[in-house]
Amino acid sequence: MEHVTIAPVISKGEGLLASHTISVKDTIYSTNDPVISAISAENLTDFCYHCHAGSKSETSWYSIGQYRDARLQECSACRVVRFCGKQCQSLAWKQYHKFECKKMAKFAPRILHESVRAVQRFCLQRDNGIIGDELWQKLLKLTSHMDDLRRKGGADWRDLMLYAKAAHEYSETKINLQVVLKLMCILKSNGLILQTTYGDPIGVFIDPILVKINHSCDGNVFVHRPIYTNTTGWLQSKTSNEGMIKLLPLREIREGEELTMPYVDLNDDLDKRRADLRKNYFFLCTCNKCIQDETTKHDLQVSNSKLSKRLAGWQSEA
């Protein structure tokens, strides 16, 4: 990694730090190959299963996946997934699809949730020697919040257990169910939204570098899907070495500064952001934006209290 290093961050575990000053023109990191990924069920017919180029010519220019010109061909065996060309189909088959194809066909026309399919694929790759010990251990060391999720219980925990059982049963993996459940918790705690260039969600993924980026409501980086990845055959073009997923700076980042990005919707107010972070990630955010919002909220409450007293005084005098 040219621009960043993984290092301990006080009260946050590990994080990404800038190894030198990063310009706004720099690409900090890019990848073509997320460790775990899956396209959501409703998008499987419209996106290449491997490179995620889209196809739906009747959609208007501003809609999901603008350059959606890929002529997708259905996998003749499972009839669940589609590919934009022979190269993507061949790469997918060698890396993962030959392990899952018959299982998808057996379950069709029903399609499992993307979290189930993502973990199922990872387990099958591990069973068949595609995932080595180093990557396997690296992923299992990621924060899972498994104990926190179990203690909290509720719908989230029930869904996670159901998804884990489905991934374990339908994959017929040799991996222990508890490990599969941990992987499901890791995906929930570390998963990022797989999206088009224009931010439309189409699935979920995990990348071992991007998961090291800690939260801040006042983040300095963002994950971007380049425009060329929405066109058919992009993996075969000269742009393919530029990456399917890129990490880009929002401003100049100083040497030694931590790279951060928001885990929640910044359109939400302070209380909603903090509630979502406590629910899903089990921490209280004290970033600069939250502290500023907290100060503003307090000032408004004091101001409103004084105004209420004045109004009460005016009403008593009337």
The letter for the amino acid at 214 is N
3-state DSSP call for residue 283?
Answer: coil
User: Using CA atoms, how far apart are residues 305 and 286, in angstroms rounded to an integer?
Assistant: 26
Rounded to an integer, the average pLDDT of 273-297 is: 92
Looking at the structure, tell me whether residues 54 and 152 fall in a common domain.
Answer: yes
Task: Supply the mean pLDDT for the chain.
Answer: 88
Looking at the structure, tell me whether residues 301 and 186 fall in a common domain.
Answer: no
Looking at the structure, tell me whether residues 217 and 305 fall in a common domain.
Answer: no
DSSP string, 44-56: TTTB-TTT--BB-
Looking at the structure, tell me whether residues 147 and 228 fall in a common domain.
Answer: yes
Q: How confident is the model at residue 313 (pLDDT cuts 50, 70, 90)?
A: low
Looking at the structure, tell me whether residues 199 and 64 fall in a common domain.
Answer: yes
Q: What pLDDT shows up at residue 302?
A: 65
Looking at the structure, tell me whether residues 275 and 141 fall in a common domain.
Answer: no
Q: What pLDDT shows up at residue 58?
A: 39
Q: How confident is the model at residue 60 (pLDDT cuts 50, 70, 90)?
A: very low
The pLDDT tens digits for 200-245 are 899 999 999 999 999 999 999 999 998 888 777 788 776 556 788 9
Question: What global pTM score does this model have?
Answer: 0.87
Q: Where are the alpha helices (DSSP H) in the chain?
A: 86-92, 98-107, 114-127, 133-140, 146-152, 154-171, 177-190, 270-281, 288-317
Looking at the structure, tell me whether residues 247 and 306 fall in a common domain.
Answer: no
Looking at the structure, tell me whether residues 127 and 274 fall in a common domain.
Answer: no
Structure-block tokens of residue 316: 């008593």
Q: Which of 65, 61, 42 is CA-nearest to residue 51?
A: 65
Task: Let me know: does 29 contact 210? Beta carbons within 8 Å.
Answer: yes
What is the domain extent for residue 299? 270-317
- Asked whether residue 310 carries a pLDDT value surpassing 70, the answer given is no
Rounded to an integer, the average pLDDT of 161-188 is: 97
Rounded to an integer, the average pLDDT of 310-314 is: 60
- Asked whether residue 291 carries a pLDDT value surpassing 70, the answer given is yes
Task: Let me know: does 57 contact 69? Beta carbons within 8 Å.
Answer: yes
- Torsion-angle region of 63 (φ positive above 0: left; ψ -120 to 50: alpha; else: beta): beta
User: Using CA atoms, how far apart are residues 121 and 91, in angstroms rounded to an integer?
Assistant: 14
Q: Which of 244, 261, 278 is the last residue of a domain?
A: 261
Looking at the structure, tell me whether residues 159 and 305 fall in a common domain.
Answer: no
Stretch among 2-6, 36-40, 76-80, 314-318 having the lowest mean pLDDT: 314-318
Better pLDDT: 213 or 61:
213
Looking at the structure, tell me whether residues 164 and 282 fall in a common domain.
Answer: no
Domain count, the chain: 2
